[in-house]
Amino acid sequence: MADEQPVEVIPYDPEWPRRFEEERAALEQVLAPWLEGGIHHVGSTSIPGLAAKPVIDMIAGVRDLEKARARLRR
What does the pLDDT look like over 2-12, one tens digit per residue?
678 899 999 99
Rounded to whole angstroms, how far apart are CA atoms 46 and 24? 13
- pLDDT grade for 1, boundaries at 50, 70 and 90: low
Q: What does the pLDDT look like over 14-44, one tens digit per residue?
A: 999 999 999 999 999 988 888 999 999 999 9
Q: Which residues contact 35 (CB under 8 A, 6 or more apart)?
A: 28, 60, 61, 62, 63
3-state secondary structure of 57: strand
pTM, 2 dp: 0.80
pLDDT of residue 71: 73
Is the distance from CB of 39 to CB of 10 less than 8 angstroms? no
3-state secondary structure of 58: strand
| CA end-to-end distance (rounded Å), the chain | 34
